[in-house]
Structure 1
């Protein structure tokens, strides 16, 4: 029962992290910058992995999609690939978790379900690592440009999407490790049961083959052996 409760907690962590990770991909504010003039003229510049926009004080936004994938900066292409990989890994991890958890009726034997659950945990750990790498790489680019005195273009700050991505990564990695470490007890218990059954069967078979016989040949052999050793 305790192992099942641990799997449920890990499943809640990983699914919550996967939802946060998936919501990070289309979120607008990966980086944001405000230009304040007078009270009337205030503009907010923001960008994500797909477009760059500006919003004025009236709330009207003008956006421009990135024209070509090949013309993008390298870090944006890497972040796109990592985030898409994270979403896919989280999806397959959720499917494997539903199959391998003890509270479900599918997946086969206990050993098979344990292996499936461990594989699900590895998927969620990789999901968290991919999202964490993407958000950290994007944040590093923002901070390096912000603190560079020679960078004269528009400077940005960290957006809300990065913090959401970091939180989702932490939940996925934590839940994935809980999935993996919750199975050590099940594997050790299975090995102990196998060893006990094997030892019991070996002892029973040995007793069967070594059972003494009460026939005349056995008695004769015993008497001859006794007579032989009597002169020693």
Structure 2
């Protein structure tokens, strides 16, 4: 009963994590423009794995997809690949996990087969969670590096030739910070890892114990020996005789009794 509950909880958590990393892959807010030093905050830009968008405070949004693959950074393509691989592995794990549920009867499937399928599903969920966390972390590292090395575009001097007040009159290059999709991806990957671990633990409880003695009936051969007795009943004698002829055609006195 405990193994069945752990398997069910692990499967439900894995399904939730699979939904979260799929949603994070589709969301465009992976990097969001930092508006700390901007005067006009009504317009901001954000981007994801597939589109770059411009939004306003009035709720209007216009997005432009990446029309080329060759012009994109290699790290962005690697993040795309990691997220897609994580989604595919999670989908395969969900499919295997459905058929391995102990509470469902699938024909004459034995418990050891279901235990093996549960272990396979848990490993799939673990790999999917690791891929999701790795992809989101790689993109977050790219944002951190870009944020640190972003400086003033014109050195802090105004267009009139004089220095601005506090050196803040120059135009800032747009800096980007973490978007909501990163946190969704991190949470989904962590839930997938937890669900995969629980599925692997449930596999041990579903495996039958091989050391259990077999409570069967022992077969004991018969101890007496079979004795064969000769038949003492009298046989009827046939008195009819047959006189055989010799090769020369003469009769002989030899008799043959047929019993």
Decide whether aligned partners of structure 1 residues 66 and 149 sit closer, same or farther in structure 2, where only a CA change above 3 A counts.
closer
Cα 1:191/1:151, change in 2 over 3 Å: farther
The question of whether the paired residues in 2 share the 8 Å contact of 1:145 and 1:151 is answered with no
Please identify which structure carries the higher helix content. Answer: 1
TM-score normalised by structure 1 residue count? 0.79
Higher-Rg member (1/2): 2
Structure 2 equivalent of residue 37 of structure 1: 39
| Structure 2: distance between partners of 1:14 and 1:178 | 9
Counterpart of 1:94? 94
Structural RMSD (CA) = 2.4
Q: Kindly state the Cα deviation for residue 181 of structure 1 after the two structures are TM-superposed.
A: 1.2
Distance 1:149 1:2 in 2: 54
Runs ≥4 residues deviating over 4 A: 149-153
Determine whether 1:191 maps to 2:210: yes
Distance 1:78 1:120, change over 3 A: same
Aligned pairs, number: 203
1:83-232 correspondence runs (5 A): 83-106=83-106, 108-148=109-149, 153-187=173-207, 189-193=208-212, 196-197=213-214
Answer whether contact 2:118 2:202 (CA < 8 A) is retained.
no
Stretches of structure 1 lacking an aligned partner (at least 5 in a row) = 216-232
Deviations 1:170-226 (A, max 9, x none): 111001011101222333x43223xx23xx78xx58xx59x9x799xxxxxxxxxxx
Q: TM (normalized to structure 2)?
A: 0.71
Q: Partners of 2:199 and 2:92 in 1: how far apart? A: 15
Cα distance in 1, alignment partners of residues 99 and 209 from structure 2 = 20
Conserved 8 A contact 1:142-1:157: yes
